[in-house]
Structures are given as structure tokens and as C-alpha cells.
Copies of this chain bind each other. A is one copy, B any other.
Amino acid sequence: MKTMSIKKISMLAGVSPTTVSFVINNKKGVSEETRKKVLRVIEQEGFIPNINSRRLSMQRSFNIAFINSESYAMFSDAFANNTIKAAVCEANKMGYSITLLPEMNLKNTHSLAQAIGQGNIDGAVVMHDINPLVFATLQERNIPVVAIDSHIQNPPYPCITMDYEGGAYQVCRYLIDLGHRDIAYMGVKSLPDFYLRCLMGYNRALSEADLRIRAGWTMGASDDGTNVPEATRNALLAALRDSEPPSAIFCCNDLSAIGVISGLVQMGLSVPRDVSVISIDNITVSEYFIPPLTTLHVDAALMGEKSIQLLHDIIEGRSEGGTIYVDYGGLIIRNSVIPYAQSSRA
């Protein structure tokens, strides 16, 4: 099968290249008859127009960059897989390709600048939040961008996010309904807004139920230089050194739940017998952890899909951006939580 082109197709169909281009791009201005004829030849020859030629001529790349934010890399690993898969599918459907860029850091956006300079990027999606350097680089060159699963309160960029306050509330309510009264909170300090949004949901649930929130039970992990589970474990160990453990702990995400459980075990406590642990995310490994995690499902795939749709609308000038909320999924009930009455604390 020798390489086809619009020109050859046009000759075979006995029309002009323009006409072929028109039918390929579904433009009007060609009679139903010729359209059929051209379509038949295209089909027959298995012709697919050369994307690079189209790129050059239209001055756009039909490429979307996927940027993995450098912070909390481990966090991303666990969460981003489903997101990116969904994003790739959606992008393909819409005629874009997804180009993976190396992780940016706060000092280096070279490969991004390079890709933009080359004209290889029509837009970008970034996992979680966008670092200032990356944002500046994008702005400067007028490349639209959307953040997926932003953790920031009012981000200056378009984003897809979830109602984490509501999710936290939901999850704490579950604990309360199960009879737990001594409930602690474990957040991640390097994500201050996310920390707060979850804390607000936690506070709302507890005050609604007239539950006391003890001082030492609002815990925060600082994952500077380490990773979420390890930082969380350390924070837990420090916080609970000389205080009675709660009967349940709400963790802002699965990874910190893993750290918390690991710390609890280290303290000689058993989950869920002595302490129940609940969290948000439902990353893949949650199901196989011991004990399997009871957690609120976050639809990472849906976020990926929506991010591409939003980005596309922005590129096409149909949207100004803004924040799009995705509903949180259902509570996945597994084994890290038991009713207070069945626990060793009752």
C-alpha cells in the first residue's frame, strides 16, 4: 500500500483537492453526490490524512501535554493512573494526542518551554496543582491549561476538583453512625487547602453530633523530603505519644491511612479491632492492603475525562475556564472500620 495523499485521492475521485479536504473536514459546500463519491475512494484506499501536514498548515499540533507535578510524586503514582488512561481515551476521541512531559520542578521547565517553542503543544493538563514556574511558562506563551484534582481553594487556573469538604463530612458521619465518638483527623500539611477542606467536613460532622474535638486529635503530616505514608506514620507516632488513642481516625487520603495503620501497628494497636481507620480516594492498593481499606471512592477517571473536555472547550474558545466539581463516589466499605460496639474499646 503506497502512501496516499489528498491529491491522489482527488484524482481517483475526479475532483479537486479542496473538495477532498472539505469532505474530510465535514465542511459544507459539497454536494451529497460528490461527498459520497469521495468518501468511497477514501474508504477504498484506506486513506488517513497526514497529521503533520495538517499541523503545519493549521498552525496547531493537536497535542495536549500531560504534566505530572513534581510534588508528592508518590501520591500521584497511586492516583494518576486511572486519570491518565481516561484522559488519553477522551483526547483520542476528540482528535488530540497526549504527549507526556518529564516531571517539571520548581526550577526547571526546560522541556515544557521547548515543546511550546516547537509548536508541539496546543494545551496542557496537569495533575493536582500547577507550580508557579510552569504556570508562568504556559501563560507567557498563551497555552491553555487545566489542573486535575486541584487541592487549592480558589485556583487562578481552570480546574477539575471534588467537594472534599462534603466527602470528609460523609465519611465522618459514617464513623459517627457506627457509634464512634472519639474521632481524630489526619491531614497532610504540605497541602494546606486540602488539609483545611477535609478538616472543615470533619468539624461539621463532629459538631453536628455534639462530639468533642480534642486538641491533640487534629493531626497533620509534613512530608518534606519523604513521602506521605512515612510522614503520616511519624506524625501519628508523635501525636499519640502520650495521649489515649482515639477509637477512629479519619485520614484525608488512602496513602495517609496506610501510614496511620502502619504507625498504629507499630504501637501495638490493631486495626480495626482497637482503632478504626477511614479515608478518601480508593486507590488500587486499598483493596489489597491489610486490612483492606474502607474509603470514599474518588472518580479519578472521570476527572481525567472532564479535564480534556474542559481544555478542549477553552482551546476552541467556548469556555473561559473556571472550576468544575465532580461528585464524590460512594463509600467503599471494606475492613478497616468496625462499629464502636464491636471494638476492643467498647
Contact = CB atoms under 8 A, between A and B. Distances in A.
Contacts of A261: 290
A74 B78 CA distance: 11
Contacts of A88: 100-102
A46 interface: yes
A101 B88 CA distance: 7
A288 B259 contact: yes
A263 to B, nearest CB: 10
Interface string A140-182: 0000000000000000000000000000000000000000000
Contact of A120 (B77, B97, B103, B262): B97
A46 B140 CA distance: 14
Q: Which of A48, A50, A258, A288 has the most CB of B within 10 A?
A: A288
A84 B84 CA distance: 13
Q: Which of A88, A98, A100, A101 has the most CB of B within 10 A?
A: A100
Contacts of A344: none
A99 B102 contact: no
Interface residues of A, number: 50
A98 B97 contact: no
A50 B100 CA distance: 19
A48 B110 CA distance: 12
A229 interface: yes
A120 to B, nearest CB: 5
Contact of A48 (B68, B84, B118, B287): B118
Interface in A116-139: 117-120
A51 interface: yes
Given A262-B290, A290-B290, A92 B111 contact: yes
Nearest to A265: B290
A63 B111 CA distance: 15
A88 B74 CA distance: 17
